[in-house]
Amino acid sequence: MTLVLGIETSCDETAAAVVDDRRAILADVVRDQLDAHRDYGGVVPEIAARAHLEAIDRVIARAMDDAGIGFDSLDGVAATGGPGLIGGVIVGAMTGKAIAAARGLPFFAVNHLEAHVLTPRLTRGVDFPYLALLVSGGHCQFVSVEGVGRHRLLGTTVDDAAGEAFDKVGKMLGLGYPGGPAVERAAEGGDAERFALPRPLRGRDGCDFSFSGLKTAVRHAVERLPPGPLAAKDVADLCAAFQQAVADVTADRTANAIALFRADCPDGATLTAAGGVAANRILRTRVESVAEAHGLSFVVPPARLCTDNAAMVAWTGVERLALGLSDGLDFAPRPRWPLEELAG
Ligand code: KG4
Ligand code: ZN
């Protein structure tokens, strides 16, 4: 059995986890920084980096404690090496390297996007190749996942990521940060038909996304309401309409992505979803029915493994350890690191 410690610090969660090669999660600690950023309505990179630095040692100690092991029992250390807010990535990567160096263990600089798209292999052992819908705060793309380090980008957003659109709409409606979960909650009981919102790119070829026009349409709808504080009913109806529009567009894009994926991987039988927005229940349900209509099974990790966590980072380390793909301690953390630039 091999055991890998994973460290995640690319945005506003300080996380550490221990995962083994039999897909068991022995520890999974996530400490968010919501209180530190709340007053600013979004993540402030300098505050995030400092908060990671203050929390990281305790978060790792807690993960090792939960797993009931010492550093001597580890077979490798994996840390997110990018993409992300560079101050935070440096904190996690340097900590991971220090542990690896002190214990003579292999070090894995993990691509955060690859960690998200490999999560369905941790939770359900999905076989390559599969189609992944990655929908998070920073990314929104369809990827053909053909192996560890082997990904083909089929489509991406031409402007905002889906989570970014959720966050901006949440902010516009006074729901705080992060907007996604708040918009989903506020939409319960809302009337999705009252406001007519656009479905950007629906019916077009390919599987790119666009969300900025949708976000602007929400702003215009808000501006047309009577001045003064928004009524709870208006907020609920707007959230329901926005969420419905995102789900409609994603369902349309998914059908096209499946066709593109199938053209190259006729034996691929699974569609997976990952990233924070994959926690959204309406979106999941819509995407699942498209997958079923096309004869693909749909695998989506539990919500806490869809949002940022370190179990996915540790798992990517497990996968790379099995293939002998470790990184040197001279790895330089990267703010930008597209999946297509991963070495095989
Ligand atoms: O994957 P993630 O935790 O971090 C990134 O790598 O970006 O995704 C965070 C994003 C945020 O934009 C958040 O608003 C969104 O995921 N999100 C949701 C939900 N839960 C989180 N969006 C819609 N519905 C949700 N339930
Ligand atoms: Zn993420």
Give pLDDT tens digits for 247-303. 999 999 999 999 999 999 999 999 999 999 999 999 999 999 999 999 999 999 999
Q: Is 307 in the pocket of ligand 1 (CB under 6 A)?
A: yes
Provide mean pLDDT across the span 304-326: 97
User: How many angstroms separate the alpha carbon of residue 274 from the centre of ligand 1?
Assistant: 10
Question: If we measure between CA atoms, which residue out of 270, 261, 321, 272 comes closest to residue 117?
Answer: 272
Residues near 213 by beta carbon (within 8 Å), at least 6 away in sequence = 198, 200
Query: Which residue type is seen at 332?
Result: A
The CB of 317 under 6 Å from ligand 1? The reply is no
DSSP 73: G
What is the token pair recorded at 67? Answer: 């797993």
- The DSSP code for 10 is S
Asked if residue 88 has its Cβ within 6 Å of ligand 1, the reply is: no
Residue 34: per-residue pLDDT: 77
The single-letter code of the amino acid at 70 is G
**Which residue puts its alpha carbon closest to atom 21 of ligand 1?**
276
Question: What's the mean pLDDT in 27-54?
Answer: 85
User: Do 288 and 241 form a contact (C-beta atoms < 8 A)?
Assistant: no
Stated pTM of the model: 0.94
Taking the CA atoms of residue 95, residue 331, residue 80 and residue 19 in that order, the dihedral angle to the nearest 10 degrees is -80
Ligand 1 proximity of 166 Cβ (cutoff 6 Å): yes
Cα separation, 278 vs 285, whole angstroms: 10
Please list all protein residues whose beta carbon sits less than 5 angstroms from ligand 2, which is an ion: 136, 308
Test site for ligand 1: of 166, 272, 339, most ligand atoms within 8 A of the Cβ:
166
Strands 150-156, 107-111: pairing is unpaired
Rounded to the nearest whole angstrom, what is the distance from the C-alpha of residue 194 to the centroid of ligand 2? Answer: 33
Q: Which amino acid is at 59?
A: V
Q: How confident is the model at residue 243 (pLDDT cuts 50, 70, 90)?
A: very high
Interval 154-168 mean pLDDT: 96
Band of pLDDT at residue 344, cut at 50, 70 and 90: very low
When pLDDT is averaged across residues 102-121 and rounded to a whole number, the result is: 97
Nearest CA among 221, 225, 200, 195 for reference residue 212: 200
Amino acid (1-letter code) at residue 76: G
Helix (H, G, I), strand (E, B) or coil at 54: helix
**Under DSSP, is residue 137 helix (H, G, I), strand (E, B) or coil?**
coil
- Cβ of 170 closer than 6 Å to ligand 1, yes or no, is no
Confidence of residue 343 (pLDDT cuts 50, 70, 90): low
pLDDT higher than 80, residue 226: yes
Whole-number Å distance between alpha carbons of 229 and 293: 43
Ligand 1 midpoint to CA 178 (Å): 7
Q: How far apart are CA 329 and CA 150, in angstroms?
A: 23
**In the predicted structure, residue 39 carries a pLDDT above the cut 80:** no
The pLDDT score that the predictor gives to residue 71 is 97
Name which residue sits closest to atom 16 of ligand 1, judged by CA: 276
Q: In a mutational test of the pocket of ligand 1, which residue from 307, 313, 336 has the highest number of ligand atoms less than 8 Å from its CB? A: 307
Of all protein residues, the one whose alpha carbon is nearest to atom 23 of ligand 1 is 180
Q: What does the pLDDT read at residue 177?
A: 84
